[in-house]
Amino acid sequence: MSDIRTFRAVAAVVAAAAVIMTASCSSTTETGGSTPINASEDVSALLGPKNEATGSTIKIGLVDDGKSPGIDHTPIIASFNASVQYANEHLGGINGHKIEVVECSTNNTPSDATGCGIKMANEKVAAVLVPVSARDADVFNALKDSGIPYMTYAAGAQDIIIGKDAYLLVNPIATLAAPAKIAKENNVKKAGIIIIDVPAATGPLEAIARPIYAKAGVDLSVIPISPQTADMTPQIQEAISKGIEQFSVIGTDEFNAQGIKTLKQLGFTGKVVMVTAPSPALAEQAGGLDGVIYITSATSDPADKDVQLYNAVMKTYLKDVTPNAQSAWSFALVTGLVNALKGNDKAVDSTTVNAALGSMPNPLPLPLGAGLTFQCGAKLVALLPNACTDNALWTTLDEQGNGKTYEKLDVAQYMPGAA
């Protein structure tokens, strides 16, 4: 496949990931994402000493999809504001400048998303942060030529992937390469991907996944299944009969639960991999997630110092809202931006913040990354230059969907464009 065709396939896969990730996190069902702090733990010690921002304000935009039928980003918004409050009181804001949040909800409509982009430009925010949005392309395109940096966690429309002044904090393609490496390390000869059959996902994923698995020396079968399918047994049984030893399941919570449950009912004993965030509801629907491998960029290990800090921030500043899995994305974006700009006193507006993000001199620990690092502007991934992180984490889940230990998985050699 030529570089141009491969790049287009990569862009399409990341855009498809946006569809899947948004569908997975837009539900009004609570999805956990926070481990309760032990009563004996000193929350104030976890937060660290007071270091209040006293300088002039720097406006940072937050774009979300608000609350509407089927979508509730309330936990994402609340966690973002809680993270900003923590940063202003304990991290000195952005180099002493107090962070002021300018929030706008797309309400999951193109017109409101465009309006959010226009609002951010009119408010002259220094950066726009988007944990996740189904309307990210409309927001981004409304910001074109404004010079305002657009920073999102992982998902992104094709315009964002190839666009100027855009940054993906983590690498969404790593979650596709990671199962291939796991297969190779376990001497798996045949692997399968059970994917929700929507046009935005199936074709692009197959186009980019095959070269990745080929690099790992693993024969790949893609099993697209309609989200309306009541019983996946025939499709999955046929795949098992072909000798597939490992399956990845990619789709919404309901789709993933049905796929994993079907594999269990058919007595499949090979490895099962999931790349969308587990939740208590998913675990219950699937009949338990014990032994399922989860690929992610954010740990939830209660022994991890970042997780302890995240939980302390949520306990201290999050009022009357239960965080979900994507609440951690809000925390990672806010603290990631603050850390990326730390020590750069010139970063005070969109032009200077954009310049700083686009030329980070050194890699920094990725918030909640359990050893992963990020370095925006470093072009860590050849055909995904806006990605600030190259690798991913993996863990084995327990029955309730909790990760045990999270380990870094180096997938650089399997990434598109790698030598």
pLDDT in tens, 278-318: 888 899 999 999 999 999 999 999 999 999 999 999 999 99
Answer yes or no: are the C-beta atoms of 291 and 394 closer than 8 Å: no
Neighbours of 410 (CB within 10 A): 13
Averaged pLDDT, 388-399: 96
Averaged pLDDT, 371-383: 92
Name the band, by pLDDT with cuts 50, 70 and 90, for residue 69: confident
Q: What is the pLDDT of residues 342-364, one digit of tens each?
A: 999 999 999 999 999 999 999 99
pLDDT of residue 31: 39
Averaged pLDDT, 8-17: 61
pLDDT of residue 202: 76
Which residue type occupies 365? Answer: P
Asked if residue 30 has pLDDT above 70, the reply is no
**Where is pLDDT greater, at 106 or 200?**
106
Gap between the Cα atoms of 383 and 159, Å rounded: 14
Phi/psi at 146 (5° precision) = -85, -20
Gap between the Cα atoms of 371 and 359, Å rounded: 21
pLDDT of residue 150: 98
Q: Check: CATH 3.40.630.30 for 174-296+408-414?
A: no
Answer yes or no: are the C-beta atoms of 176 and 205 closer than 8 Å: yes
Asked if residue 39 has pLDDT above 50, the reply is no
Instruction: Let me know if 58 is exposed, middle or buried by CB neighbors in 10 A (0-12, 13-18, 19+).
Output: buried
Which residue type occupies 90? Answer: H
Asked if residue 389 has pLDDT above 80, the reply is yes
Averaged pLDDT, 251-262: 93
pLDDT of residue 10: 63
Which residue type occupies 232? Answer: M
SS3 155: coil
Residues of CATH 3.40.50.2300 domain(s) within the chain? Answer: 31-171+302-388, 174-296+408-414
Rounded to two decimals, what is the model's pTM?
0.91
CATH number of 31-171+302-388: 3.40.50.2300
Gap between the Cα atoms of 147 and 352, Å rounded: 10
Averaged pLDDT, 175-187: 93
For 410, the token pair is: 């180096």
pLDDT of residue 32: 43
Q: What is the pLDDT of residues 114-149, one digit of tens each?
A: 999 999 999 999 999 999 998 999 999 999 889 999
For 159, the token pair is: 């315009």
For 272, the token pair is: 């099962």
> Taking all residues of the chain, what is their mean pLDDT, rounded to a whole number?
89
pLDDT of residue 406: 96
Gap between the Cα atoms of 401 and 279, Å rounded: 6
For 393, the token pair is: 């984490």
Q: Strands (DSSP E) along 106-203, which ranges?
A: 127-130, 150-152, 166-168, 190-196
Cβ-based neighbours of 28, under 8 Å, separated by 6 or more: 70, 71, 72
